[in-house]
């Protein structure tokens, strides 16, 4: 049995229920278990015994590559943090101590960040973009809302659920802009937010969330404004994409992996391809978090 991380798309083979920094899912059991692997399948193993090789093919800061295996080791006084990625077999290794790092600090990324950044990169190269947003179904419409952080996305999802809508995503969108195919993702929580910002009593009822991929959604980019005299400028897809996508390039492992694996040209080709889909996204200005005045769902 495998963890269904993004239904019909990403699955994990692991005993873990969560892993700090894993933004694709903060609860590996949200969608339950599946018998068959999804299209993108990975294994996560807690292992204290694997060693960083003394002889390597490439090194950038604390990241090493030898053959098809990537390594990370950081010694902080007597504490040793270790991470490994077997890129050929799609297996991640993390030592137990490293799993206790809850968030990025002092240039140390939690292991879930390293794992999901590499997965998000692979998804992107296969046409699926991971981007900040929320999504729902209401009145037979599939809607995607892209917006910066703290612009009311979770508030909107809770409002939609109260009105009888169905949950698809709350913080992370997995969307194929070319095939116009949307994949559902689990709601998120962190040490600094209410546990399960989307209410558990609603999303625990299976009829209130969708676990099948959806096609041809309406897509909006929303900018919440609290200054009534300000008029925001319309944004196109390329601007939005540059602003809040490519999250897998934010840590040195992603940068080193792209460089050494010679993926830069492929990435830019994918960006240029996406830039032709400007007309798909409608821009909306929201005043003082009043989504109802604009969408009326």
* Predicted local distance difference test score (pLDDT) of residue 43: 98
Q: 3-state DSSP call for residue 81? A: strand
The two beta strands, 134-138 and 91-94, are unpaired
* Predicted local distance difference test score (pLDDT) of residue 138: 93
- Give residue 41's domain range: 2-113
Q: DSSP state, 105?
A: B
What's the predicted TM-score (pTM) here? 0.91
Q: How far apart are CA 288 and CA 141, in angstroms?
A: 24
Could you tell me which of 48, 42, 81 has the C-alpha nearest to residue 62? 81
* Predicted local distance difference test score (pLDDT) of residue 189: 62
Q: Show Cβ contacts of residue 182 under 8 Å, excluding neighbours closer than 6 positions.
A: 135, 142, 144, 168, 169, 173, 174, 175, 176, 213, 214, 215, 217
* Predicted local distance difference test score (pLDDT) of residue 118: 96
Residue 165's Cβ-side half-sphere holds a number of Cα atoms within 13 Å equal to: 22
Q: Residue 210 falls within a domain, yes or no?
A: no
Phi, psi (5° rounding) for residue 212?
-100, 150
Q: Residue 175 falls within a domain, yes or no?
A: no
Q: How far apart are CA 54 and CA 64, in angstroms?
A: 10
Other Cβ atoms within 10 Å of 107 Cβ, number: 10
* Predicted local distance difference test score (pLDDT) of residue 196: 46
User: Quick one: tokens of 161?
Assistant: 């659920």
Q: Residue 65 falls within a domain, yes or no?
A: yes
* Predicted local distance difference test score (pLDDT) of residue 106: 83
Q: Which residues in 211-240 are b (16+ Cβ under 10 Å) and which e?
A: bebbeebebbbbbbeeeeeeeeeebebeeb
* Predicted local distance difference test score (pLDDT) of residue 13: 98
User: How many domains does the chain fold into?
Assistant: 1
* Predicted local distance difference test score (pLDDT) of residue 206: 62
Distances, alpha carbon 130 to alpha carbons 39, 174, 177, 291, in Å: 16, 5, 11, 24
Q: Residue 105 falls within a domain, yes or no?
A: yes
Distances, alpha carbon 95 to alpha carbons 17, 72, 116, in Å: 16, 11, 17
Q: Residue 48 falls within a domain, yes or no?
A: yes
User: Quick one: tokens of 16?
Assistant: 């873990």
Q: Show Cβ contacts of residue 51 under 8 Å, excluding neighbours closer than 6 positions.
A: none
Q: How far apart are CA 111 and CA 22, in angstroms?
A: 8
Q: Which mean pLDDT values do the consecutive 10-residue runs of the chain (297 residues) have? A: 96 96 93 96 94 92 94 90 96 96 88 96 95 93 92 89 92 91 84 45 64 93 90 82 79 93 93 76 90 84
């Amino acid at each position: 049995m495998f963890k269904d991380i993004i239904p019909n798309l990403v699955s994990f083979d692991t005993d873990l229920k969560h892993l700090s920094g894993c933004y694709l899912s903060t609860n590996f059991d949200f969608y339950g278990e599946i018998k068959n692997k999804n299209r993108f399948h990975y294994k996560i193993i807690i292992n204290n015994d694997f060693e960083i090789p003394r002889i390597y093919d490439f090194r950038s800061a604390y990241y090493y590559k030898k053959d098809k295996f990537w390594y990370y080791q950081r010694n902080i006084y007597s504490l040793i943090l270790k991470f490994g990625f077997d890129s050929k077999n799609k297996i991640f290794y993390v030592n137990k101590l490293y799993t206790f790092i809850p968030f990025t600090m002092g240039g140390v990324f939690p292991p879930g960040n390293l794992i999901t950044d590499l997965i998000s990169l692979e998804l992107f190269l296969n046409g699926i973009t991971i981007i900040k947003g929320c999504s729902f179904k209401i009145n037979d419409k599939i809607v995607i809302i892209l917006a910066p952080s703290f612009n009311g996305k979770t508030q909107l999802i809770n409002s939609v659920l109260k009105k009888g809508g169905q949950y698809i995503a709350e913080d992370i969108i997995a969307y194929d802009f070319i095939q116009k195919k949307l994949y559902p993702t689990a709601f998120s929580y962190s040490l600094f937010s209410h546990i399960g910002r989307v209410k558990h009593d609603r999303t625990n009822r299976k009829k209130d969330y969708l676990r099948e991929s959806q096609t041809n959604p309406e897509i909006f980019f929303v900018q919440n404004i609290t200054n009534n005299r300000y008029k925001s400028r319309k944004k196109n897809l390329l601007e939005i994409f540059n602003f809040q996508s490519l999250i897998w390039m934010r840590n040195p492992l992603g940068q080193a992996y792209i460089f050494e694996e010679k993926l830069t040209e492929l990435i830019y080709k994918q960006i240029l391809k996406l830039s032709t889909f400007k007309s798909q996204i409608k821009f909306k200005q929201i005043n003082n978090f009043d989504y109802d005045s604009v969408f009326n769902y």
